[in-house]
Amino acid sequence: MYLETLALFGRACTKGDDQLVNWILDQWPFLLDRTKEGSPAPLTRAIQNSQWATVKILLDRGAKNVIQSIISGNGSRNEVDLKILFDIVNNSICSGDLMSKLIKNDLQKMAKASMFLQLRMRTGLARFIKYFEQNEELHQLIETTLTASQKYNYVPQKALLWIHNGRFALEYFWRQNINTKITLKRNNFVITVNMTKNIFV
């Protein structure tokens, strides 16, 4: 019964069946953040499918791991509209300093759990960073948090980090006139670049 209800709840969040979402949460509020192992969280499902009314319901009900769900939900092939999403987040749960704390805390937990090993999460993070490019304060907070969490030199250029299917771009080093052998660590990957041989490993 539990697994059937959980699966039904997940489908309701995916399809935006808000009447069913509310009914299930009224009966079993503990299902709000529950998920089968390996399956997306209810909030992630709603975000991924741009079910904005459902997203608002889940946030108003107190869904946790909001930034994780945003990054995961926006890590698939179809990019979601982060402007609409953050308008809902700001109206439902937080803005300003509270948003900064939410971003910092969730990114720290995600980095500690090595979630950015997953291509989906790296893609979602790249889109997340890009969205905040014009917000200098939050953009710096994201970079600083990732640096502190991962304990390695942070290289913010997306051309290096997110070029194609998570692969690193050799062209970046050429354009930056880096001509010595260097080693970088990023998202639990280690690469060594030697421009004298035009190779990277």
pTM over 0.95? The answer is no
Token digits for 122?
Answer: 């790296």
User: What percentage of residues in the chain have a pLDDT greater than 90?
Assistant: 41
Say yes or no: 82 and 125 in one domain.
Answer: yes
Question: What pLDDT does 158 receive?
Answer: 45
What stretches of 145-198 adopt beta strand conformation (E)? 182-186, 189-194
Say whether both 147 and 164 belong to one domain.
no
* CA dist 171 → 9, 130, 137, 186, 194 (Å): 46, 20, 29, 17, 12
With a cut of 80, say whether residue 29 has pLDDT above it. yes
Summarised one tens digit per residue, pLDDT across range 102-158 is 999 999 888 888 787 787 888 898 889 889 988 999 988 888 888 776 554 444 444
Question: Which residues constitute the domain of residue 177?
Answer: 152-201
Same domain, 104 and 187: no
Q: Based on the domain organization, do 17 and 33 belong to the same domain?
A: yes
In this structure, the answer to whether residues 91 and 144 fall within a common structural domain is: yes
164 φ, ψ to 5°? -160, 115
Query: What domain count does the chain have?
Result: 2
Instruction: Give me 36's structure tokens.
Output: 């089968």
Record the tokens describing residue 55, joined without a space: 């997203």
Task: Give the number of C-alpha atoms closer than 13 A to the C-alpha of residue 78, restricted to the C-beta side.
Answer: 6
- Do 101 and 16 lie in a common domain? yes
pLDDT of the residue at 190: 57
**Cα gap 173→133, rounded to integer Å:** 22
Whether residues 122 and 180 share a domain: the answer is no
The half-sphere exposure of 176 on its side-chain side, counting CA atoms within 13 A, is 14
Do 199 and 128 share a domain, yes or no?
no
The predicted pLDDT at position 180 comes to: 56
What pLDDT, on a 0 to 100 scale, did the predictor assign at position 201?
42
49 and 140 assigned to the same domain? yes
The answer to whether residues 73 and 161 belong to one domain is no
Q: What is the pLDDT of residue 149?
A: 64
Same-domain check for residues 124 and 83: yes
Q: In this structure, are 41 and 139 located in the same domain?
A: yes
